[in-house]
Chains A and B, each alone.
Chain A
Amino acid sequence: MNPSIEIQLIAAVTAAACAIPGVFLVLRKMALISDAISHSILPGIVIGFMITQDLASPWLILLAAVSGIITVVLVEMIQKTGLVKEDTAIGLVFPALFSIGVILIAQNANDVHLDVDAVLLGELAFAPFDRLYIGGTDAGPKALWVISTILVITVGLLLAFYKELKLSTFDIGLSSALGFSPVVLHYGLMSVASVTTVAAFDAVGAILVVALMITPAAAAYLLTTDLKKMLWLSLLFGVGSAIGGYWFAKWLDASISGSITTVLGILFFAIYLFAPSKGLIAILLRQNRQRKEVSLLTFLLHLNNHDSLEERHVSHLQEHINWRKVKAKSVLDLAEQNNMITIENQVVSLTKKGLEFTEKALEYIITNKDEKIEDMKDDFFLFRG
């Protein structure tokens, strides 16, 4: 295999391995734990190196994963004292652990070939140089083997505990009532996230791990609320951005991790703007429509309440309902287009349709009973949901 394909493979497998725990982290509102872990594994790595004097030793990964789990335990301990909120607990624990790591590195700077930059930022381009030899034959880059193993284990655990995970994510009370220990699941998930972070940061750097965990899941969450679909979509987004990011980096001749993150960012931004029902544009349009419909209803109810010609004069309406001219005009137009009012000599009157509509709406407002507006639901957003 040539290095280019190997790098893409490593990036894609890493993205897939991160996307799965990422979905659950986002759903459980623990997204920032991945950020905390990715920083606080530093002392574990440094201590592991000081013991083994070997950067490739599996002990490093193990100790790093342990310090990831220590982070989670510490955060929980601090949170249990009730002295600070959870986010403050996270924010206190990981910088302290990271500081210890940085100091340890600086103290042993002469004999440790460990660079804080490298830990945080990672460099995918170098990953293929570190190869695994089995009995003298080249079996491919080591990072690919490590991360693939983790992906397989993650998928295995996901398939085995899918139901339990789903239940405990969405209804923790029910799941513990049914006998699934939320604590075991929580720490299981945290361990997977921790191990994945450790393995992935070795190849791609700490910040990209956070991006790969959170972004695909967040983007998928804007498109669907179905857990299975969300998992598939985030896998797709993660792997797609990993490969797209590689080519983007090649074109720019810049950091691969950085450009994968950038592609993820562009993807998220696009979905954030254009997602069909939960995107920013859809939401703004919906809010605008809602506002208009409320105005229309207010206007119609006002007409319904006042019979005198004077009250129904166009110019009077503007000051009476306290609308600006533009808004009054647009509501007036909307009502006229819907055949709810007629305007003669600047005097507005309700049509039969308008009258019916208003009365129904009034009835609904007074009784607040859903069946009163069943047949209006199709026409008016206001009465849906």
Chain B
Amino acid sequence: MDITQYFTDYTLRTITLGTAVLGAICGMLGSFAVLRKQSLLGDAISHAALPGIAIAFLITGAKDSNVLLLGALVSGLVGTWWIRGITTKTHLKTDTALGLILSLFFGFGMLLLTYIQKQPNANQAGLDKYLFGQAATLVESDVMLMSVVTGVSLIVMLLFWKEFKLLLFDKNYAMTLGFNTKFIDGLISFFIVLAIVIGLQTVGVVLMSAMLLAPAAAARQWTNSLSVMVLLAAIFGMFSGVFGTAISASQPNLSTGPVIVLVAAVFVAVSFIFSPGRGILFKQLRLLRNRRELELQKTLYFMYTIVRKHDDISRPHAIKILNNFQGFTRNTLSQLEHKHWIEINGNQWSMTHSGFETASNLYNTNLPES
């Protein structure tokens, strides 16, 4: 497959567009899920949507994807609502509640699906695409639906931006200011569930949770500002969709959903390692630099304890006397010289005024005379 075909192939263009839009909306709404410590809500809700799909099919007997999505939405919302009920009313914790809803709803959905299969008029082929997702079945109308949902949630997000932000970071304060926190809470949850449901037929139940939180977790590493994070997460999600589709199209037998998830995982890994503020790499480097600085200061202070016993601070001393000091090396010595804290003359060193000044201010405490 060459690059021109990529832009001319109708199916591929539709899929790319669809996964890009999906990635963007997931990244955007996923940021809220991650910051609300509801990362695994996506996992639970995507499983909880299954019985809704089955029931919608049982009632209407049609395989119209909008009707099925509506069923998924309803059962996803029921799941969310029950999770909240369990965590607020009983002493069961969030993780237990999520696991319960996830497995119980999904099991019930499976029961319904096998029941549908055995019905005489069953033409349930296609229902199981919601389990594993088939990006290949995306058509233009699906992409339209996704775009509309993305647009609506974007508008709602902008309208309630202040409220969302306040609720995320200080719920109690929002309450005392008189905001209807229950309503705002419900609004966020509703849109998160909506995003999950929309993504089901593209990446499937299992991988939906990763779509929701991987771009957000990656974006979180680069910024401390909510608006930047949401924007970055949307961009990461979008690129995961585009790259994932491109990679999976480049080879046969490469399912789109899993590839998208792996691309998103690469974004996360890169962010974890290379983000300047929080990344592991720079954190280690900072740690190393601090440690080296400390070693240097230790050496300087040791010299200071020698020097201050003499009237003349610039009196030379033999380098040999330093050798028993831990952490002292040729390297630190030349660094000290480089900083003009000491001067080296053959086998002898002497402290400069600036070195003496620095050393005496190092520990601003009353250390006992040693």
A211 and B107 contact, CB distance less than 8 A: yes
Contacts of A121 in B (CB 8 A): 110
- Which chain A positions have C-beta within 8 A of B43? 32, 35, 91
Q: Complex Cα distance A260/B111, Å?
A: 9
B131 at the interface (CB under 8 A from A): yes
Contact pattern, A 103-118, Cβ under 8 Å of B = 1, otherwise 0: 1001101000000110
Chain B min CB distance to A176 (Å): 22
Contact B253 A207 (CB under 8 A): no
**Interface-located stretch among A1-9, A185-193, A248-256, A363-371:** A248-256
User: With A262-B111, A278-B90 given, is the CB distance from A34 to B85 under 8 Å?
Assistant: no
Q: Are B262 and A261 in contact (CB under 8 A)?
A: no
Is B253 in contact with A107, judged by CB distance below 8 angstroms? yes
Q: Answer yes or no: A83 CB below 8 A from chain B CBs.
A: yes
Is A90 at the interface (CB under 8 A from chain B)?
yes
Chain B residues whose C-beta falls within 8 Å of the C-beta of A255 in the assembled complex: 110-111, 113-114
Contact of B107 among A29, A30, A117, A261 (CB under 8 A): A261
- The answer for the CA separation of A30 and B43 in the assembled complex, in Å, is 15
- Complex CA gap A106/B38 in Å reads 31
Tell me the interface secondary structure of chain A in the complex.
helix
Of the residues A106, A213, A283, contact of B255 by C-beta under 8 Å: A106
Tell whether B40 is near chain A: CB-to-CB under 8 Å: yes
* Residues of chain A from 177 to 230 with CB closer than 8 A to chain B in the complex: 207-208, 210-211, 213-215, 217-218, 221-222
A interface footprint on B299-320 (CB within 8 Å = 1, 0 otherwise): 0000000000000000000000
Q: When the two chains form their complex, are residues B261 and A222 in contact, meaning their CB atoms are under 8 A apart?
A: no
- Within 1-55 of B, Cβ neighbours of A (below 8 Å) are at 34, 37-40, 42-43, 47
Asked if B210 is at the interface of the complex by the 8 Å CB criterion, the answer is yes
User: With the chains together, A26 CA to B280 CA distance in Å?
Assistant: 32
A81 to B112: give the CA distance in the assembly, Å: 43
Is B118 a contact partner of A215 (Cβ separation < 8 A)? no
Kindly provide the distance from the CB of A12 to the nearest chain B CB, expressed in whole angstroms. Answer: 17
A173 within 8 A of B: no
Closest to B105 in A: A265
Interface residues of A, count at CB 8 A: 62
B107 and A92 form a contact (CB under 8 A): no
A280 at the interface (CB under 8 A from B): yes
A326 at the interface (CB under 8 A from B): no
Q: Which of B212-220, B340-348, B355-363 contacts A (4 or more CB under 8 A)?
A: B212-220
In chain B between 94 and 127, which residues have their CB closer than 8 angstroms to a CB of chain A?
94-96, 98-100, 102-115, 118
Q: Does B93 contact A (CB under 8 A)?
A: yes
The answer, yes or no, to whether B179 is at the interface (CB within 8 Å) is no
Contact between chains at A81 and B103 (CB < 8 Å): no
Does B268 touch A at the CB level, under 8 Å?
A: yes
Residues on the B chain within 8 Å of A258, using CB: 107-114
The interface residues of chain A lying within 8 Å CB-to-CB of B38 are 87
* CB-defined contacts of B220 to chain A, threshold 8 Å: 83-84
A26–B108 touching, CB < 8 Å:
no
Q: Point out the residues of chain A lying under 8 angstroms from B118, CB to CB.
A: 253-254
Q: Which of A34, A120, A208, A254 contacts B131 (CB 8 A)?
A: A120
What's the minimum C-beta distance from A78 to chain B, rounded to whole angstroms? 8
Across-interface contacts of A30 in B (CB, < 8 A): 95
**Cα-based distance from A30 to B209 in the complex (angstroms):** 18
Once the chains bind, are B92 and A208 in contact (CB under 8 Å)? no
Q: Which residues from chain B contact A29 at a C-beta distance below 8 Å?
A: 93, 95-96
Is there a chain B Cβ closer than 8 Å to A329's Cβ? no
Contacts known (A83-B278, A85-B37, A88-B34); A99 close to B100, Cβ less than 8 A: no
On whether the beta carbons of A257 and B265 are closer than 8 Å, the reply is: no
Note all chain B residues with C-beta closer than 8 A to A88.
34, 39, 213, 217
Q: How far is the CB of A280 from chain B (nearest CB, A)?
A: 6
Give chain A residues whose Cβ lies under 8 Å from the Cβ of B37. 85, 87
Residues on the A chain within 8 Å of B209, using CB: 91, 95
Judge whether A95 and B253 touch: CB under 8 Å: no
Chain A residue numbers with a CB within 8 Å of B104 are 211, 215, 261-262, 264-265, 268
CB-based contact B110/A103 at 8 Å: no
Q: B221, A83: Cβ atoms under 8 Å?
A: yes
B182 in the interface (beta carbon within 8 A): no
With A85-B39, A259-B111 as contacts: A208 and B103 at CB distance below 8 Å? yes
Which residues of chain A have C-beta atoms less than 8 A from B90's C-beta? 222, 272, 278, 280, 283
Q: Is the CB of B262 within 8 A of A99?
A: yes
Interface residue B254 (Cβ < 8 Å from any Cβ of A): yes
Tell me if B78 is interfacial: C-beta within 8 Å of chain A.
no
Partner of A96, one of B85, B105, B210, B280: B210
> Complex: how many Å from CA A253 to CA B106?
18
B328 within 8 A of A: no
CA distance A254 to B253 in the complex (A): 32
- Complex: A91 Cα to B215 Cα, angstroms: 12
A100 within 8 A of B: yes
Q: Bound state CA distance, A242 and B95, in angstroms?
A: 23
Given A81-B280, A283-B90, A87-B217 contact (CB < 8 Å): no
Q: Name which residue of chain B comes closest to A221, CB basis.
A: B92
Complex: A35 Cα to B98 Cα, angstroms = 10
List chain B residues, Cβ under 8 A from A99: 207, 210, 257-259, 261-262, 265
A98 within 8 A of B: yes
Q: How far is the CA of A211 from the CA of B103 in the complex (A)?
A: 5
| In the complex, chain B residues whose CB is within 8 Å of the CB of A284 | 89
**Contacting residues, chain B, for A208 (C-beta < 8 A):** 103, 107
* Known A120-B131, A257-B107; further 15 A-B contacts with Cβ < 8 A: A83-B272, A87-B38, A87-B39, A91-B42, A92-B210, A95-B214, A95-B261, A96-B210, A257-B110, A258-B107, A261-B108, A262-B111, A265-B105, A280-B89, A280-B90
